[in-house]
Structure 1
Amino acid sequence: MLTYVFSTQLLEILTILAIIGESSWAALPGSYCKEMGSSTYRPHSVSVTEFGAVGDGITLNTKAFQNAIFYLHSFADKGGAQLFVPAGKWLTGSFSLISHLTLSLDKDAVIIGSMDSSDWPVIDPLPSYGRGRELPGGRHQSLIHGSNLTDVIITGGNGTVDGQGCVWWEWFNNHTLNYTRPHLIELMYSKGVVISNLTFINSPFWAIHPVYCSQVLVQNVTILAPPDSPNTDGIDPDSSDNVCIEDCYISTGDDLIVIKSGWDEYGISFARPSSNISIRHIVGEANSGAGIALGSEMSGGISNVRAEDICLFNSLYGIRIKTSPGRGGYVRHIHISNVIMTNVKTAIGITGRYGEHPDENYDPNALPVIDMITIEDVSGTVIKHAGTLEGIKGDNFNSICLSNVHLNVTSKHPWKCSYIEGFSNLVTPELCESLRNPYQSSVCYTANHFDCCNLVQAA
């Protein structure tokens, strides 16, 4: 199990973040999230031990989890039910949840993913991807899975879910995988989802993946994976709407939080955007990725995203938007503010040449639309490059707005820009000429545009 020790540098960053956010935290934007939580009363509760589970870290408990959930299905229309996981180490393969269920872990409970790939069934690829994300064909089912669910809570007293991802990372690095790696949690086509008060470690692939979901709250979670673990994103809302992510600490081998919406022609055809997403109070490091990212799979569209009060350190990128010819779709109406960065290689990255396609059938003339992106109130120290802001020839990225961005940059060439237009105010070091136009609120997406009323409500 990973153990994380906060450095003196991190404590200093947290103190600064608390000071600058103190006045605003009393009346937090995104109060729409507070209606969702993990305190829903369930009149029926059982322990996984009642179905033969043994918490010795050796006994495989997949059948115990499956049988307990099958039993609780009969209470779905009677106020729902809770499956309690007590203190212990509970080895299991993949299992699926049901509606109106709370999966609750004791503070000393550890759900451990089996290191036998046969305990993670192979399921169909997502229709918005057309294939597994890493390999053609199917993909391994997540450790905790669910589809077409309503009112699902995964919570606890900061219990742990350990994916034992090292074996999957080795298979990936050695090119011996037959199917795309699994997530720790993937919920599909579901509504009213809460994931809170837990620690997730060593995910084989992306840790938390709500896809085709609505009304999702991820709150007070810690996500950890080694900095060299491949593609271990933290939280990836994908073709989902009305999502709140808040009060999380994430340290992984790739992006901390990344918003997606399908891949090339499959995402365009499926046409399920990600929209109305609030991200706030996030601390973490992304040694091989970005703190907050959008794309590169964004073919169904991404809009109405607000991220604020973000503290990043020891990362490859701070904020990043990734896309490519062939993606289609759009990324628009994005507002990112109140960000502190320390020891970040590139503070802001926007790229229109990210590449990677599911197959040869994509349309290279399906160009993405990137506009109305606002980044403001950002400070950074020990930053190598302020930003790489590169659109696509014949497809300029428009209304890229930066305000009150101050970066202590070590590179002699802090900004690199092409095929990009926008506006700025109070930016140091000085921006590229194409972005030096005076900031105009009429064409820049501001906090006032963010319609909280459309966001997540109680399930």
Structure 2
Amino acid sequence: MESTKSNIKNERWLIFVLGVVLLILGECSTCIAVGGENDHKNKDGQVVCSSRKHSAVLTEFGGVGDGVTLNTKAFKAAVDHLSPLASDGGAQLIVPAGKWLTGSFNLTSHFTLFLHKDAVILGSQDESEWPLVELLPSYGVGRDAPDARFSSLIYGTNLTDVVITGHNGTIDGQGAPWWAKFKAGQLNATRPYIIEILYSDQVQIFNLTLINSPSWFVHPIYCSNVIIQGLTILAPVTVPNTDGIDPDSCTNTRIEDSYIVSGDDCIAVKSGWDQYGIKMAMPTQHLVIRRVTCISPDSAAIALGSEMSGGIQDVRVEDITALNTQSAVRIKTALGRGGYVKDIFVQRYIIDTMKYVFWMTGAYNSHPKGFDPKAMPVISNINYRDWVAKNVTFPAKLDGIIGDTFKGICISNVNMTLAEPVQKLLWNCTNVEGHTSNVIPKACDLLPEKPAKFDCPFPQDKLPIEDVALKTCA
């Protein structure tokens, strides 16, 4: 009987998720202009971007879209062919309708990877198709295994002007074997991601569906001028480490108009781990996140950290929806992290079913060997305003660090309706300082309400990345 009830519950939840996906896709069908008057088609009827002088189709290099034939060599041959042409007006590789099984492949500069609406790139489940790459210098070791990590499915380093897009084509990481090996402790290298771009400038990833990543989905790291827009990201909510989008030591990034179902944080903002991140000193800064919907029952819609040793600063978040998600914004750090999380602004948040609306922890204690336990993180100037939440278990769990208080916390105009049965301790606050205004239910004594109502600040200026246009195709 319990099994039957569980199956019915799971079926209802799946129907709900699919319904929300269709709703979001319907609402966002006009969010991004995907056409251009000067875009045209080549002799085979395939889309050619007006912003790219040279174009080729994967089938020209032996690609077979039957879902069985391995296309790693075809992808590599296509990129190798287009790479020298890309410096002369740019190049585009078109992935036509079909199922294209492949291992990891690299991109090049001044390049667009374009997926037809009925194209599906399938990640190979053969580990030999995923070469090992260098460990990330701001992390020092791998996450799943200390000494090695696999290249991501779509990978690029030291690039300028790279675009991954399409008419909502799909990239399927086919992550199930990787998840099973992780749970069984059988990995000898850190799992790959679907997309990872390193040390690059002018990166655009938009109008795609990404499913079943072996680990994180989208990981721009050590990059500048990044736009991630119009993504549908889907992972089983029971699979760990399937973060949706992880901007990591990046400057000038825009994430918007996306829908994410994840077994981990929907968006996780990072900047390196302990002594490695402190040494590299590359913050994530000038980040805009807006119009994102998240479902993540065991994690956060937006996480800041825990790998924040290079610093996180000037993050502007607005118009977020979180459904059946553990927390809205979670700041994660610990003694030994160093770094900082400061100048964070979040406005207009809609929440339905959540354990902790506001969550900060200074005891996220996972460390590499040789870390400095005296490296103190700085958490300051955290601003939340204009939130509405219902079916909330706990309004807040705010735990700073003894001798390292989290300061400058501002919360205003927030209305939280509590789930039944109502808990006795609604606000759990230690080692934090700040103030509140018009917050229901009333905050803890460490965040007193000021006599006169006020709004927490939100920047009125624009960041340069907000005015950058997408390089679109028809």
* Structure 1 length-normalised TM: 0.90
- Determine which of 422, 425, 435 is the counterpart of 1:413: 425
> Equivalent of 2:316, from 306, 309, 317?
306
1:404 partner letter: N
Distance in 1 between the 2:61 and 2:466 partners?
36
| Preserved contact between residue 437 and residue 453 of structure 2 (Cα < 8 Å) | no
- Contact 2:246/2:269 (CA < 8 Å) preserved in 1? yes
8 A contact 2:252–2:463 mirrored in 1: no
- Which residue identity is paired with 1:87? A
1:182 matched to 2:208? The reply is no
Select which of 275, 284, 287 maps to 2:285. 275
Distance 1:263 1:451, change over 3 A: farther
One of 362, 366, 369 as aligned partner of 2:371? 362
Residue 440 of structure 1 deviates from its aligned partner by 9.4
| Within-5 A mapping of 1:253-332 | 253-332=263-342
- Give the Cα–Cα distance (whole angstroms) in 1 for the partners of residues 266 and 451 of structure 2: 29
Aligned residues with identical type, % of pairs: 50
From 95, 103, 108, the counterpart of 1:85: 95
- Give me the whole-angstrom Cα distance separating, in 2, the residues matched to 1:8 and 1:189: 36
CA shift for structure 1 position 206: 0.6
Among candidates 176, 196, 202, match of residue 212 of structure 2: 202
Q: How far apart, in 1, do the equivalents of 2:301 and 2:59 lie? A: 39
Letter in 2 for 1:260: K
Separation in structure 2 between the aligned mates of residue 222 and residue 286 of structure 1, nearest angstrom: 14
1:50-82 CA deviation, whole Å, 9 max, x = no partner?
A: 000110111110000000000001212211110
> Using the alignment, how far apart are the partners of 1:100 and 1:5 within structure 2?
41
The letter for the 1-side match of 2:192 is P
User: Which residue of 96, 109, 113 corresponds with 1:103?
Assistant: 113
1:392 correspondence with 2:401: yes
Distance, in Å, in 2 between the alignment partners of 1:294 and 1:231 is 15
CA contact (8 A) 2:438 2:449 kept: no
Task: Tell me the equivalent position of 1:148.
Answer: 158
What amino acid does structure 1 have at the position aligned with 2:387? V
Q: Which residue of 2 aligns with 1:447?
A: 458
Aligned AA for 2:159?
Answer: L
Unpaired stretches in structure 1, ≥5 consecutive residues: 19-25, 27-37
Residue 411 of structure 2 aligns with an amino acid whose one-letter code is L
Equivalent runs, 1:161-240 vs 2, <5 Å: 161-240=171-250
The answer to whether the Cα contact below 8 Å between 1:267 and 1:298 also exists between their aligned partners in 2 is yes
Q: Hey, what's the Cα distance between the residues in 1 that align with 2:176 and 2:439?
A: 42
Shift in alpha-carbon separation, 1:319–1:143, aligned structure 2, 3 A: same
What's the CA shift for 1:135? Answer: 2.1
8 Å Cα contact 1:334/1:372 also seen in 2 = yes
Unaligned segments of structure 2, at least 5 residues:
1-12, 32-47, 470-474
1:287, distance to aligned residue in structure 2 (A): 1.7
The separation in 2 between residues aligned to 1:302 and 1:440, in whole angstroms, is: 31
- The answer to whether structure 1 residue 119 and structure 2 residue 120 are counterparts is no
Counterpart-to-counterpart distance in 1, 2:18 and 2:121: 31
Equivalent pairs, count:
433
C-alpha RMSD of the superposition = 2.3
Distance 2:398 2:351 in 1: 18
Q: Which amino acid in structure 1 is aligned with residue 111 of structure 2?
A: L
Q: Secondary structure, in 3 states, of the residue corresponding to 2:446?
A: helix
Please state if 1:371 is matched with 2:380.
yes
Aligned-partner residue type, residue 412 of structure 1: K
* Secondary structure of 2:236's aligned partner: coil
Give the residue type in structure 1 aligned to 2:442.
E
